[in-house]
Amino acid sequence: MTDIELAVLKTWQVGPYDDEWVVIVHAETRGQARKMGAGVGYDEFVGMRAIRLPKLDGKLITRQTLTEAGFPETWEGEPLDATGYILDCGCETCKASLREPND
Ligand SMILES: [Zn+2]
């Protein structure tokens, strides 16, 4: 591979061990994913858990792809809001996902 930008980044679900929020990020390594998660709130890197979501690799983050990956279709009675999970790590997948209509 000569053009690194063509490489598909791995998809991760990142959130603290002791809380319920998660965000979706794209990173090559688990360490990079945890670092992104730690930048979201006041949580520290050591408290971050990153879980691979291989089903979402190379896919837009939408309600459909999230539910296919096992996310609940509703949360507290509201339909799943894909944009609420997108951290927007700056990658093309996030940018394109945020342009998608979310319904
Ligand atoms: Zn991304």
Give the residue extent of every domain in the chain.
3-93
CA of 92 to the centre of ligand 1 (A): 7
CA of 76 to the centre of ligand 1 (A): 26
Give the model's pLDDT for residue 1: 47
CA angle 8, 13, 44 (to 5 degrees): 115
CB-based burial, 45-82: b 16+ in 10 Å, e otherwise? eeebbbeebeebeebbbbbebbeebebeeeeeeeebeb
Sheet strands (E) in 1-95: 10-16, 23-27, 48-52, 74-75, 78-79
CA of 97 to the centre of ligand 1 (A): 9
pLDDT class of 52 with cuts at 50, 70, 90: very high
Three-class SS of residue 60?
coil
pLDDT surpassing 90 at residue 59: yes
